[in-house]
Structure 1
Amino acid sequence: MLAVSPEVKTNPLQKANFCSRLFVWWLNPLFKIGHKRKLEPDDMYSVLPEDRSQHLGKELQRHWDQEVKRAQKDAQEPSLMKAVIKCYWKSYLIWGMFTFLEEGTRVVQPIFLGKMISYVENSNSVTLHEAYCYSAGLSACVLMWAVLHHLYFYHMQRVGMRLRVALCHMIYRKALRLSSPAMGKTTTGQIVNLLSNDVNRFDQVTMFLHYLWVGPLQAVTVTALLWMEIGISCLAGMAVLIILLLFQSCFGKLFSSLRSETSALTDKRIRTMNEIITGIRTIKMNAWEKSFIDLITRLRSKEISKILKSSYLRGLNLASFFTVSKIMIFVTFITNELLDNWIIASQVFVVVMLFEALRFLSTLYFPMAVEKVSEAVISLRRIKNFLSLDEIPQLNTQLPSDGEMMVDMQDFTAFWDEELDSPTLKGISFTVRLGELLTVVGPVGAGKSSLLRALLGELPPSQGKVSVHGRIAYVSQQPWVFPGTVRSNILFGKKYEEERYEEVIKACALEEDLQNLKEKDLTVIGDGGTPLSEGQKARVSLARAVYQDADIYLLDDPLSAVDPRVSRHLFEQCIRQALKEKITILVTHQLQYLKDASQILILKDDKTVERGTYSEFLKSGVDIFSPFEKGNKQPASSPVLGTPTLMSESLVQSLPSPRPSLKDAAPEDQDTENIQVTLPLEDYLEGKVGFKTYKSYFTAGAGWPVITFLILVNITAQVAYILQDWWLAFWANVQSDLYSGALIKEDVDTMIILNWCLRVYSGLTVSTIVFGITRSLLIIYILVNSSQTWHNKILESILRASVLFFNSNPIGRILNRFSKDIGHMDDLLPLIFLDFIQLRSALE
Structure 2
Amino acid sequence: MISMGFVDVLLMKEVIKLVVGYYLKIVNLIIGLLFSRLGFYLLIMACIWTGVTTDTTIIIFAVATFKDLGHWISQSLPFTMGQLGEFVSAYQRIIKALEAEELDPEHHLEQPTNEPLIELKNASVRFKDQEILSNISFRITSGLTLITGIVGSGKTSLFKAILQDYPLSAGSLVTDGRIAFASQDPWLFPSSIKQNILFGEKFDEKRYNEVIRVCALLFDFNQLENGDETIVTDRGLNLSKGQQSRINLARAVYRDSEIYLLDDCLTALDAAVQDYIFTECIQTFLKEKICILISQTASHIEKADNVIIMDKGFIKDIGKPDEHIYQEVKKLVLKDDDLEKEVIDDEKEVNEKTKLTETEQFTSKKKVYSEIKKEGSIDFVVYKKYFMYGGGIVMVLLNFFLGGGTQFTSSYSDKLLSNWIDIKQNVLNIEANVTSNNSFINNLETAVEEETFIFRKYTIFLFVSVILELIKHYAMLDFTRRASINIHKAMIKKIMNGVMYFFDTHLIGNVLNRFSQDMANIDETLPFVIDDCYSVFFSVAGGTLLIISINLTFSIYVVFMCSLLILLRWYYIPSGRSLRRLEASTRSPMIGHLNATLEGLTTIRSCKVEHLLIQEFDKHQDLYTSAYLTSLSTMRGIGLFMSLITSSFLVIVLAKFMLFDSDITAGDVALALTQVFGVCGQMQWGIRQWAELENIMTSVERLLEYTDIKTENKQGLQLENWPCKGSITYEKVSLSYNDSDELVLKNLNFEVKPNEKIGIVGRTGAGKSSIISTIFRLYEVQGKILIDGIDIKTLEMQFLRKHIAIIPQDPIVFSGTIRTNLDVRNEFKDNELWEALEKVGMKNYISSLDQIVGSSSNTNFSSGQKQLICLARAILRKHKIVVMDEATANMDHETDVILHKIIKNNFSDATVLTIAHRLHAVLECDKVMVLDRGEIAEFDDPNTLLDNRDGMFYNMVRQAGLLNYLS
Instruction: Specify the TM-score bucket, using the shorter chain as the normaliser.
Output: 0.5 to 0.7
Compute the TM-score of the two structures, normalised by the length of structure 1. Answer: 0.59
Spell out the pairing of 1:746-765 with structure 2 (5 A cutoff): none
| Contact 1:190–1:267 under 8 Å retained in 2 | yes
How far off its partner does 1:505 sit? 1.5
1:479 has 2:811 as partner: yes
| Contact 1:235–1:332 under 8 Å retained in 2 | no
Q: Which residue is equivalent to 1:92?
A: 396
Compute the TM-score of the two structures, normalised by the length of structure 2. Answer: 0.52
Spell out the pairing of 1:695-710 with structure 2 (5 A cutoff): none
Residue 614 and residue 222 in structure 1: after superposition, are their counterparts in 2 closer, same or farther (change >3 A)? same
Residue 365 and residue 525 in structure 1: after superposition, are their counterparts in 2 closer, same or farther (change >3 A)? same
Q: Secondary structure at the match of 1:568?
A: helix
1:283 has 2:585 as partner: no
**1:458-479 Cα deviation digits (max 9, x unpaired):** 3433456564364233332111
Q: How far apart, CA to CA, are the structure 1 residues paired with 2:598 and 2:857?
A: 13
Deviates more, 1:225-234 or 1:288-297: 225-234
Residue 102 and residue 357 in structure 1: after superposition, are their counterparts in 2 closer, same or farther (change >3 A)? farther
AA of the residue aligned to 2:667: S
Match for residue 267 of structure 1 among 588, 606, 613:
588
Q: Which residue is equivalent to 2:891?
A: 562
Residue 233 and residue 335 in structure 1: after superposition, are their counterparts in 2 closer, same or farther (change >3 A)? farther
Q: Which residue is equivalent to 2:837?
A: 505
Residue 593 and residue 291 in structure 1: after superposition, are their counterparts in 2 closer, same or farther (change >3 A)? closer
Match for residue 363 of structure 1 among 666, 677, 684:
684
Residue 417 and residue 119 in structure 1: after superposition, are their counterparts in 2 closer, same or farther (change >3 A)? closer
Residue 371 and residue 315 in structure 1: after superposition, are their counterparts in 2 closer, same or farther (change >3 A)? same
Q: Which residue is equivalent to 2:569?
A: 248
1:379 has 2:681 as partner: no
**1:600-639 Cα deviation digits (max 9, x unpaired):** 32223321122233465578889674252599899xxxxx
Number of equivalent positions: 567
AA of the residue aligned to 2:567: L
Residue 84 and residue 220 in structure 1: after superposition, are their counterparts in 2 closer, same or farther (change >3 A)? closer
How far off its partner does 1:136 sit? 2.8
Match for residue 346 of structure 1 among 642, 663, 667:
667
Q: Which residue is equivalent to 2:871?
A: 542
Spell out the pairing of 1:793-832 with structure 2 (5 A cutoff): none
Match for residue 594 of structure 1 among 922, 929, 934:
922
Q: How far apart, CA to CA, are the structure 2 residues paired with 1:401 and 1:539?
A: 28
Q: Which residue is equivalent to 1:332?
A: 653
Q: Which residue is equivalent to 1:677?
A: none
AA of the residue aligned to 1:112: L
1:160 has 2:480 as partner: yes
Indicate the structure with greater strand content.
2
Which stretches in structure 1 are left out of the alignment for 5+ residues? 14-19, 26-37, 39-76, 635-844
Residue 566 and residue 400 in structure 1: after superposition, are their counterparts in 2 closer, same or farther (change >3 A)? same
**1:222-271 Cα deviation digits (max 9, x unpaired):** 33332321331453255324322332343333221111111111112211
1:130 has 2:422 as partner: no
Q: Which residue is equivalent to 1:457?
A: 777
Residue 302 and residue 605 in structure 1: after superposition, are their counterparts in 2 closer, same or farther (change >3 A)? closer
| Contact 2:767–2:931 under 8 Å retained in 1 | yes
How far off its partner does 1:449 sit? 0.7
How far off its partner does 1:369 sit? 4.0
Q: Secondary structure at the match of 1:427?
A: strand
How far off its partner does 1:306 sit? 1.9
How far off its partner does 1:118 sit? 0.7
| Contact 1:483–1:529 under 8 Å retained in 2 | no
Q: Which residue is equivalent to 2:906?
A: 578
Q: How far apart, CA to CA, are the structure 1 residues paired with 2:945 and 2:961?
A: 23
Residue 130 and residue 496 in structure 1: after superposition, are their counterparts in 2 closer, same or farther (change >3 A)? farther
Q: Secondary structure at the match of 1:197?
A: helix
| Contact 1:556–1:586 under 8 Å retained in 2 | yes
| Contact 1:107–1:354 under 8 Å retained in 2 | no
AA of the residue aligned to 1:85: F
Match for residue 106 of structure 1 among 391, 410, 421:
410
Q: Secondary structure at the match of 2:551?
A: helix
Q: Which residue is equivalent to 1:610?
A: 938
How far off its partner does 1:295 sit? 1.7
| Contact 2:499–2:778 under 8 Å retained in 1 | yes
Residue 320 and residue 162 in structure 1: after superposition, are their counterparts in 2 closer, same or farther (change >3 A)? farther
| Contact 1:450–1:459 under 8 Å retained in 2 | no
Q: Secondary structure at the match of 2:810?
A: coil
Spell out the pairing of 1:671-682 with structure 2 (5 A cutoff): none
**1:266-305 Cα deviation digits (max 9, x unpaired):** 1122112221222222221122122222222222222222
Q: Secondary structure at the match of 2:422?
A: helix
| Contact 1:393–1:457 under 8 Å retained in 2 | no
AA of the residue aligned to 2:870: S
Residue 234 and residue 419 in structure 1: after superposition, are their counterparts in 2 closer, same or farther (change >3 A)? closer
Residue 326 and residue 630 in structure 1: after superposition, are their counterparts in 2 closer, same or farther (change >3 A)? farther
Q: How far apart, CA to CA, are the structure 2 residues paired with 1:628 and 1:612?
A: 15
Residue 627 and residue 161 in structure 1: after superposition, are their counterparts in 2 closer, same or farther (change >3 A)? farther
Match for residue 556 of structure 2 among 227, 235, 246:
235
Deviates more, 1:155-164 or 1:202-211: 202-211
Q: Secondary structure at the match of 1:133?
A: helix
Q: Secondary structure at the match of 1:231?
A: coil
Q: Which residue is equivalent to 1:302?
A: 623
Which stretches in structure 2 are left out of the alignment for 5+ residues? 20-25, 32-84, 86-378, 431-442, 963-967
| Contact 1:426–1:606 under 8 Å retained in 2 | yes
**1:196-226 Cα deviation digits (max 9, x unpaired):** 1112233343444366566556545433332
Indicate the structure with greater helix content.
1
Q: How far apart, CA to CA, are the structure 2 residues paired with 1:434 and 1:128?
A: 101
| Contact 1:395–1:457 under 8 Å retained in 2 | no
Q: How far apart, CA to CA, are the structure 2 residues paired with 1:594 and 1:163?
A: 54
Identity of aligned residues (%): 16
RMSD: 4.1
